[in-house]
Structure 1
Amino acid sequence: MKECIRTKGYHGAHVVRRDGRGLIARLCACMAPALLAAALVPAHGDHDAAAAGCRTDDHGIQLTADVSGESPHFTSIQFLNVSTGRAAGNGFMLGTSDGGCRWQSIYKGKLTFAQMDFVTNSLGYVLARTAPDGPAMLLRTANGGASYKPVPNGGHRLARIDFRTALEGFGYAFNDSGAYYTADAGAKWSKLPTPPNTRGAQFFSPKEGWAVALVPGGYQVKRTTDGGRTWTTRLTAASAAGAGGAVYGANSRDVWILLYGGSGMSQTSYSLFHTKDGGASWEQVVSNATAGGGPAPGPVAKAGKLPGPPGRPSDLATPDPRAAYLLTGSGAMDNLSLGRTQNGGKTWRNSAAVPGFEGKLSFPSAKSGWLAVTSLTGSAVYATRDGGATWSKTFAIAVD
């Protein structure tokens, strides 16, 4: 029997349908964990040459509604390199070793994956939950994602993780209001002090980090080089409505700062800033004011001079200091857009990307990237080999 349900955790009230036949994933269901990890060893040969014979459907992997009744959809994606990657959602994880030409089932169960953070092909950490509104658990896998063990999180409700090695990693609380560090795979966590009213943070080492703080009249972007004991303001941006921000970058000197303004009429105003010298100088790459959201944070740009892709920012990827990819979507539109630069923000291009209202990016290199999306017609994974100019579908979960 088919029935309609609402997807949770997305902007807008989108309705999708699920198939109640209770089908299970066929591929790799009986593979031993060691074989699952081995199956994701990067394949040799030219992927583009083989792409002509690649499938764009469900690859024979039949996914069904999760334990809460939600239709299967992607919630996380991560590629370690241009060949090896994983895409996961509510109750499943898939893997590929040839850039998405072939996908296989790695996990099927009760976990809904909010974030994957694999440091090797076998060893990884995830934030996952077993109930739609339940807390995210920090889990560790040593067999490529087939099974998981709980990791102590010090009692902190982590909303984001960033593991740099098998042992060393960072955890961030809701809105990045608290930052924590572990050097022993989560056995112990130490708090990294952040400024008052922090609404976005990123540490690149136990000493070096950035934070976006709300202050009267807007934002202050601050940097620390002593583990959070002292913070220096590197950027001030006026904003009539402060809704938070985010920090991205390849290292502590070259960072991208995303600041949110107001929202309204399915529109969000936002700005994107870039520094290459630790905050000594900045370039405002995007100043996206909207009728519904009002002025964008920061200096007022001439109308149409620094436009970003329409909608609310959904994800941003910075594979190297020169490249940045900004994905946006809207609850009122089933169409994701992408803004991109490959020269550090000197030039910026916006274009329609793929159908969808929510998505996640993974760019292991400046040219090769993957995009997991949920749309009104289903959920899918797309790939680009030209830096986001064009996208091709590599996996699809249809909505019946």
Structure 2
Amino acid sequence: MNKKIVPILALTLMMTLAGCKSSGTTNSAVNASESPQSIEAATATPQVTVSPNPSKTPIAGTSNKPTKVAMTGVTAIRLADAKVGWIGGNGWIAHTTDSGKQWQVQYEGSGEIKQLFALNGQEAWASIGDEGKLLSTKDGGQHWTSAGRVPNTAAFFHFISKSEAFSGNAHTVDGGLHWTNLPVPDGITGDAYFRDAKNGWAVKPGKDTVDVLRTQDGGKTWNRVMSRKNAASLTGTVIRSAGENDAWIELIGGSGMNQTSYSLFHTKDGGKTWQTVLANSTAGGGIAPGFPVGDNTGPKNTGAKPGPLYVVSPDVAFMGGQCLSCDKPNSIGLTKDGGKTWENGKETFTGYGELLLGMADANQGWLITNDNTQPSVMYTTSSGGANWAKAHNFDAPK
């Protein structure tokens, strides 16, 4: 064997094993590498997106009559509490009041349900298709009404009141009728995340670095609050927040051989200090983003690619992992101390499609697995992810 090949094979083997490594502990917090520095926002004047006039007449649903719709391929999930919530699929929305044991289809139409969001057991919203058609309900889903359209359909959309919501940097104060684009810096990767009208976060790659930016004035000014050396390609980001000074930043790197490298960082103090929560390098995707060559310090999530991230509080977060070469490819990991330690769940689940996760609190939540040839399956936990019980088998794909 060529002697030059041996080190490469050894490195590949180490990175492959790292993709399925178990729980770990980060010994100390990561400080931002430099003092906050102001970043100029995009100079374009924020534009107003005017939605088509919504209909005040409820859209014909099926909440009070039998339905023949097949509940296959669940695409969206949202809990109001541990018992009450909604799921959606291709052309349908369903509702449960008993933690998923029984489901009632409330809406039938065209288009895939992309996202669901609920303020409580009565008020909820759904986005449909790539065009972002927006539906809303005020009576627990008995009637769904057209509410306009959601811009930035790939971004996470969330309501913070009956009238105010965000989708990336798009902002509405009239329930989705009109949207204003809040200013963000040029060149960011993925979508910015605004917790409210003042506080937002974004990620921007630099030369051999990756920077986390924060605004506290609605995007007028942005400050660099973390800058890390980076040897990876940055292909995406996921940002969540559980408080004004709280941010969870997932960096998504390269992919190959059904593997994707990624990392997760967390701050509780507005970016003054950072915790490395996860650092998942893989053979196919390369080094995890936010690390220089030769450094991969941090706990590892199970699986070879990231699943859904669900943040409950500044201390508690859950994240799925997927190993597409495994018989049971899906798993759930979690932290209950803000990312200082990471615990990988002992249970694994079948299904080679998208994994969906929703939590009502630190202990109670729902998990749905999907597959192209097998029915979607729902599981519930009341033990903070330590144990999961099968709650429902959905209809088989046709």
Of 297-306 and 212-221, the range deviating more from structure 2: 297-306
2:212 is matched by which residue type in structure 1? V
Structure of higher RCO (CA pairs closer than 8 Å, 6+ residues apart): 2
Task: Give the deviation of 1:280 after TM superposition.
Answer: 0.2
Contact 2:277-2:298 at 8 Å conserved across structures: no
Q: Identity over aligned residues, as a percent?
A: 33
1:318 is matched by which residue type in structure 2? V
Task: Give 2:52's aligned residue.
Answer: none
- Match among 374, 378, 383 for residue 375 of structure 2: 378
TM value normalised by structure 1:
0.76
RMSD (CA atoms): 2.4
1:113 is matched by which residue type in structure 2? I
Unaligned runs of 5+ in 1: 1-27, 33-59, 66-71, 173-178
Task: Give 1:6's aligned residue.
Answer: none
Contact 1:92-1:106 at 8 Å conserved across structures: yes
When residues 287 and 392 of structure 1 are mapped into structure 2, their CA distance, relative to the original with a 3 A threshold, is: same
Please state if 1:79 is matched with 2:79.
Answer: yes
Task: Give 2:385's aligned residue.
Answer: 388
Task: Give the deviation of 1:122 after TM superposition.
Answer: 2.5
1:64 is matched by which residue type in structure 2? A
Aligned length: 329
Task: Give 1:361's aligned residue.
Answer: 357
CA distance in 2, matches of 1:207, 1:105: 38
Please state if 1:316 is matched with 2:309.
Answer: yes
Task: Give the deviation of 1:110 after TM superposition.
Answer: 2.5
- Secondary structure, aligned partner of 1:321: coil
Task: Give 1:227's aligned residue.
Answer: 218
Task: Give 1:203's aligned residue.
Answer: 194
Contact 2:79-2:86 at 8 Å conserved across structures: yes
Of 185-194 and 143-152, the range deviating more from structure 2: 143-152
Q: Deviations over 1:124-144 (max 9, x none)?
A: 221112xxxx52312222343
Task: Give 1:120's aligned residue.
Answer: 120
Of 224-233 and 191-200, the range deviating more from structure 2: 191-200
When residues 62 and 343 of structure 1 are mapped into structure 2, their CA distance, relative to the original with a 3 A threshold, is: farther
Of 285-294 and 301-310, the range deviating more from structure 2: 301-310
Contact 1:135-1:157 at 8 Å conserved across structures: no
Task: Give the deviation of 1:292 after TM superposition.
Answer: 0.7
CA distance in 1, matches of 2:122, 2:161: 13
Please state if 1:194 is matched with 2:158.
Answer: no
CA distance in 2, matches of 1:218, 1:74: 38
Please state if 1:293 is matched with 2:285.
Answer: yes
1:240-279 to 2 correspondences below 5 Å: 240-279=232-271
CA distance in 2, matches of 1:279, 1:184: 31
Task: Give the deviation of 1:304 after TM superposition.
Answer: 8.0
Task: Give the deviation of 1:305 after TM superposition.
Answer: 5.0
Task: Give the deviation of 1:258 after TM superposition.
Answer: 0.3
More strand by percentage: 1
When residues 200 and 236 of structure 1 are mapped into structure 2, their CA distance, relative to the original with a 3 A threshold, is: farther
When residues 281 and 148 of structure 1 are mapped into structure 2, their CA distance, relative to the original with a 3 A threshold, is: same
Task: Give the deviation of 1:343 after TM superposition.
Answer: 1.3
Contact 1:263-1:293 at 8 Å conserved across structures: yes
Contact 2:262-2:281 at 8 Å conserved across structures: yes
CA distance in 2, matches of 1:153, 1:187: 7
When residues 290 and 314 of structure 1 are mapped into structure 2, their CA distance, relative to the original with a 3 A threshold, is: same
- Secondary structure, aligned partner of 1:205: coil
Contact 2:63-2:107 at 8 Å conserved across structures: no
Task: Give the deviation of 1:228 after TM superposition.
Answer: 0.4
Of 88-97 and 142-151, the range deviating more from structure 2: 142-151
CA distance in 2, matches of 1:113, 1:30: 17
When residues 62 and 332 of structure 1 are mapped into structure 2, their CA distance, relative to the original with a 3 A threshold, is: farther
When residues 366 and 224 of structure 1 are mapped into structure 2, their CA distance, relative to the original with a 3 A threshold, is: same
Q: Deviations over 1:210-267 (max 9, x none)?
A: 1112333242110000100111111123142110211112113121110011111111
CA distance in 1, matches of 2:96, 2:63: 17
- Match among 172, 183, 186 for residue 182 of structure 1: 172
TM value normalised by structure 2:
0.76
- Secondary structure, aligned partner of 1:100: coil
Task: Give 1:137's aligned residue.
Answer: 133
When residues 61 and 384 of structure 1 are mapped into structure 2, their CA distance, relative to the original with a 3 A threshold, is: farther
When residues 280 and 304 of structure 1 are mapped into structure 2, their CA distance, relative to the original with a 3 A threshold, is: closer
1:396 is matched by which residue type in structure 2? N
Please state if 1:152 is matched with 2:152.
Answer: no
Contact 2:171-2:182 at 8 Å conserved across structures: yes
Of 287-296 and 243-252, the range deviating more from structure 2: 243-252
Please state if 1:335 is matched with 2:329.
Answer: yes
